[in-house]
Amino acid sequence: MCVIMVFKPAYSHLSAAELQERLENGDHPTLVDVRTPAEYFQYHLENVQLIPIDEFASRAAGELSSDEEIVLICEHGVRSEMAAQYLASLGYENVATMDGGMAAYQGEVVHGE
């Protein structure tokens, strides 16, 4: 007898266009930018929380609710993947990364603080 087990992915992926569409339609997941403060101040999404990747492990559990949908964002998608893996290891179930990061985002952004 062969048993096939299917596991739900620990986190999901959103394209930049999918996230942009959701935001434009009034959907507001918790957005977390894991880039450096310097990258964040160059440009970022409105209503995004900054938790730099080098502070993520020490701050995430205390600042992010596992009851909310969390979308992680970085410049190209690599650091947000690391952050998503970390949250998944803590048992967060409603986590997504924005594929391509801010470099792929075509919507409105905020410059400065």
pLDDT (tens digit per residue) in 19-63: 999 999 999 999 999 999 999 999 999 999 999 999 999 999 999
pLDDT recorded at residue 113: 79
pLDDT tops 80 at residue 5 = no
Residues with Cβ within 8 Å of residue 71, at least 6 apart in sequence:
14, 19, 29, 30, 31, 32, 95, 96, 97, 98
Q: What is the CATH number of domain 12-104?
A: 3.40.250.10
pLDDT (tens digit per residue) in 8-22: 568 999 999 999 999
Nearest residue to 34 (alpha-carbon basis) of 62, 93, 92, 75: 75
Among all chains, which residue has been given the structure tokens 């999918």? Answer: 18
pLDDT tops 80 at residue 85 = yes
DSSP three-state, residue 104 = helix
The residue ranges of every structural domain in the chain are 12-104
pLDDT recorded at residue 33: 98
The span from the CA of 81 to the CA of 21, in Å, is 21
pLDDT tops 90 at residue 2 = no
pLDDT recorded at residue 8: 54
pLDDT tops 70 at residue 88 = yes
Side-chain half-sphere CA neighbours of 35 within 13 A: 21
pLDDT recorded at residue 23: 95
DSSP three-state, residue 20 = helix
